Amino acid sequence: MSYQVIARKWRPQTFDDVVGQDHVVRTLKNAIARGRIAHAYLFVGPRGTGKTSMARIFAKALNCTGGPKADFDPNDPLCQSIADGTFLDVIEIDGASNNGVEQVRELRDTARYAPAQGKFKVYIIDEVHMLSTAAFNALLKILEEPPSHVKFVFATTDPQKVLPTILSRCQRFDLKPIPAGLIVERLEKIAAVEKIKVTAPALACIARLADGGMRDAQSIFDQMISFCGSEIAEADVLDVYGLVAEEKIAALAGALAAGDHKKIIEIVDDCDANGRDLVRLLVDVQAVVRGALLDSIAKGGASDSLGHSTGSGQGATELTTEQITRMLDALREGEGGVKLGLAEKINFEVALLKAVEASRARAIDSLIKELSALAEEAPLAAGEGSEKKKT
């Protein structure tokens, strides 16, 4: 048997295999169990979160032996045929390359014929937002009143480009980015079956890189197996993808909080010398500062979590919510220069130093309030002094 990449080999085959989308799984299962199956569904979400996989699983549930049923056997020949892409009544269409009105008219004409193998004809249109306006309009009538044996499942990463007239005819499900913890759990299971030794920090790095996408995480894991063999350590992931270790990110965040310009430059020099991705490092630092901002809000106005994040816990600088907000805003404003500027390292250093200065600057409105308060208190103090002299 030819080699299959991990992302395909471990693709979810049943509703129970789907990770991090419990709200969608529960709704579809209940709809099937209660016989409330709609004629059109729209799955929305970032890449690699399970939109197309969910559509195929739903098609299996509708066309399995004895179906529709949510707890189908994945080894059922009909389900296997759908998984292999040989089932005649499950038609997958790429919206990016079949986006013309002629293709939709052909779909509309063939949809009227009865299913050849199963109970339902299921049309899965991926990246449906790529269809032209004319194609959308050609789809409207059959989408509103399709034959009873036809079901439509649309998937998109950009729902704003889908016509409102299409959206109003579909049940919409928003798939969320998958939490890093669930990605790590899934990769641990894969590693155990594939007999790969991988450290917990390495899995955490892969989950951080994947940014909520299970497919991305599996692809990264696959590449790391090719690079390292049967044993993967955190340093390997950092080297291949130019990531910075969490401890160093925390140290940089602590230096920002303390206003330690020398330490900031030292860390940046070290990261640059080791070929680390400074754009990614900026994003990671922003995440740490955002965590400190949420901590300060929870504590009622101040936080020293940036200093404590370095691991020392001593002499941590306490920053107010306002200071952390200004620091985060300065880091955000520096993104463009780091990403698009000609001197990436210099722009990165400038962004960090500006963030330090911004956190220590006084907001003009609060300064005006303080000066106004002092101005109001001065005449009163002068009046009290003159009364004391008279007495």
As a whole number, mean pLDDT of residues 4-14 equals 91
As a whole number, mean pLDDT of residues 289-293 equals 91
What is the pLDDT, as a whole number, of residue 383?
59
> pLDDT digits over 101-115, tens only?
888 888 888 888 889
In the predicted structure, residue 382 carries a pLDDT above the cut 70: no
List the one residue out of 70, 24, 346, 10 whose CA is nearest residue 174.
24
Give the span between the Cα atoms of 222 and 273, in whole angstroms: 27
What is the pLDDT, as a whole number, of residue 341?
79
Bridge partner list, 123: 91, 152
What is the pLDDT, as a whole number, of residue 145?
86
pLDDT-derived band at 58 (thresholds 50, 70, 90) equals very high
What is the pLDDT, as a whole number, of residue 206?
94
Triad 297, 301, 303: Cα angle to 5°: 80
Domain boundaries for CATH 1.10.8.60 within the chain: 180-241
Look over the chain and give the mean of its residue pLDDT values, rounded to a whole number: 87
CATH H superfamily, domain 6-174: P-loop containing nucleotide triphosphate hydrolases (3.40.50.300)
What is the pLDDT, as a whole number, of residue 314?
45
What is the pLDDT, as a whole number, of residue 142?
86
Residues in the chain: 391
What is the pLDDT, as a whole number, of residue 301?
73
What is the pLDDT, as a whole number, of residue 320?
86
Give the span between the Cα atoms of 355 and 323, in whole angstroms: 10
> pLDDT digits over 227-237, tens only?
998 899 999 99
Q: What is the DSSP letter of 333?
A: H
Residue matched to tokens 């000609």: 342
CA atoms within 13 A on the CB side of 207: 20
Domain boundaries for CATH 3.40.50.300 within the chain: 6-174
In the predicted structure, residue 57 carries a pLDDT above the cut 90: yes
Domain boundaries for CATH 1.20.272.10 within the chain: 246-360
In the predicted structure, residue 71 carries a pLDDT above the cut 50: yes
Other residues' Cβ atoms within 10 Å of the Cβ of residue 305:
23
Give the span between the Cα atoms of 267 and 37, in whole angstroms: 57
Q: β-pairing, 40-44 with 171-174?
A: parallel
CATH number of the structural domain 180-241: 1.10.8.60
Looking at per-residue pLDDT, the higher value among 386 and 203 belongs to: 203
In the predicted structure, residue 390 carries a pLDDT above the cut 80: no
pLDDT-derived band at 138 (thresholds 50, 70, 90) equals confident
In the predicted structure, residue 153 carries a pLDDT above the cut 50: yes
What is the pLDDT, as a whole number, of residue 282?
94
Looking at per-residue pLDDT, the higher value among 141 and 192 belongs to: 192
CB–CB of 71/101 below 8 Å?
A: no
The token duo for 9 is: 């080999």
As a whole number, mean pLDDT of residues 142-155 equals 90
Give the burial string for 57-74 (b: 16+ CB within 10 Å, else e).
bbbbbbbbeebbebebeb
> pLDDT digits over 303-353, tens only?
777 765 544 444 567 888 888 999 999 999 998 889 887 889 999 999 999
Residue matched to tokens 């299996």: 60
As a whole number, mean pLDDT of residues 220-241 equals 92
Topology (CATH level 3) of domain 246-360: Zinc Finger, Delta Prime; domain 3 (1.20.272)
